[in-house]
Structure 1
Amino acid sequence: MAVFLMLLLLPWSAGGAAVCRHCPGPLQNGSVVAQYCASQAGTKSEGRCCWEQGTHPERLLGLDLSNCSLSSLPPGLDEATTTVVLDLTKNPLTLLPNSSFLGFTQLQTLVVPLALKCPGGNSAWEEVTTNGSSRFCQGQRNHCNSSKELAWLCPEDAACAPDGPGLVQCLCKSPFHGYKCLREGTFPMLLFCGILGAVTLSLSLLLWGTQRRKAKKP
């Protein structure tokens, strides 16, 4: 019971907390994350992160990974999808794949080294500017609202939804589901779980029987 309560009290998720501790020390003085955190009421800084207080779990708003000697994006970044401000400056990054920001629908300010482009391209942002050795990608655009050209990506019974800078996803409209939202009606969850459980149990028994016979052999 005590362990369960401790898990509930952990901020947001283990993955998000791990990202906050990826670089030593607090928020860098003058970083966009530090400025954002100071300008927002009801926030607190912890390691390289800025958290929104008063929510359960607490929501990660800002992530400062500037000057962390990063040659690639750190593991666990996908656990920080609620981030509004992210600073990646002063790092020897050479590649910034668009898929790295899948699910970052709340991201409004991303600062990257000047050598890198904004993920999704300039069209994915309201404003792209440069300042010294940094590139500022600001105001993530919702391509589902701003571009009619993307409508063909989704099947007839699905709706377009943003999924990160320059990324979209197709969500099936009720009561459709399945591949290309071609199936209508409620998803047969009980039947699916029953079949999956039966297959798993059968494979487990088969493996247990074969391994047991091998163990009995001298």
Structure 2
Amino acid sequence: MVQYLVLDANPLYNCSVEDFRGLTDLYFLSVPTTCSCPGELTAWEDITIQGNITTCQGQITCRQDLVPCPASSHCAGNGPGLAECSCDEGHHGYKCSRQGKFPTAGFAIGLISSTIVAAGIMWCTHRRHTKME
């Protein structure tokens, strides 16, 4: 769990939001002014610039106005400026619109059986084109 990250002495350029993916507990970030705070003002309570150091404080994990999640779901932060909607317990599927558990067994059986059938068809058609010497 990283809460404080000081990178201002590093020669960083063009920092990406993806560079900070997974740092959900980050509260304080210090970067050189060549990088901006990931997610900028939508992801931090306070951003200050002093000299050649940018300081980002107070990560905002999810803003409902920026990440409108559908019914039966909730916003889950995945780092500064990164959020995604996750289905609530007992819901799954497109926009979390299906209730109950995901039919894992049925899905797996269907996938395995169709793979076996496709492999059998390819094996049979390939055998016809192979010549014995």
- What TM-score do you get using the length of structure 1 for normalisation? 0.50
Q: Partner of 1:91 in structure 2?
A: 11
Kindly name which structure, 1 or 2, has the bigger radius of gyration based on alpha carbons.
2
Q: For residue 180 of structure 1, give the secondary structure of its aligned residue in structure 2.
A: helix
Write the deviation string for residues 63-90 of structure 1: whole angstroms up to 9, x where unpaired: xxxxxxxxxxxxxxxxxxxx43444442
Q: Is the Cα–Cα contact under 8 Å of residues 12 and 34 in structure 2 kept in the other structure? A: no
Q: Is the Cα–Cα contact under 8 Å of residues 69 and 75 in structure 2 kept in the other structure? A: yes
Write the distance in 2 (CA, Å) between the matches of 1:98 and 1:197: 38
Q: For residue 42 of structure 2, give the secondary structure of its aligned residue in structure 1.
A: helix
- State which of 37, 59, 69 in structure 2 corresponds to 1:154: 69
**What amino acid maps onto 2:25 in structure 1?**
Q
Write the distance in 2 (CA, Å) between the matches of 1:208 and 1:86: 55
Structure 2 portions without partners, runs of 5+: none
Within-5 A mapping of 1:14-93 = 61=1, 83-89=2-8, 90-93=10-13
- State which of 100, 106, 113 in structure 1 corresponds to 2:25: 106
Structure 1 portions without partners, runs of 5+: 1-60, 62-82
Shift in CA distance, 97/215, structure 1 to aligned 2, threshold 3 Å: farther
Q: Is the Cα–Cα contact under 8 Å of residues 12 and 35 in structure 2 kept in the other structure? A: no
Q: Partner of 2:116 in structure 1?
A: 201
Write the distance in 1 (CA, Å) between the matches of 2:17 and 2:26: 13
Q: For residue 136 of structure 1, give the secondary structure of its aligned residue in structure 2.
A: strand
Cα RMSD of the aligned pairs, angstroms, is 2.7
The structural deviation recorded for 1:106 is 1.9
Write the deviation string for residues 133-175 of structure 1: whole angstroms up to 9, x where unpaired: 322222211334xxx5247x11121122222212222121232
Shift in CA distance, 125/211, structure 1 to aligned 2, threshold 3 Å: same
- State the percentage of identical aligned residues: 37
The structural deviation recorded for 1:91 is 1.9
Q: For residue 127 of structure 1, give the secondary structure of its aligned residue in structure 2.
A: strand
- What TM-score do you get using the length of structure 2 for normalisation? 0.76
**Would you tell me which structure has more helix in proportion to its own residues?**
1
Q: Partner of 2:46 in structure 1?
A: 127
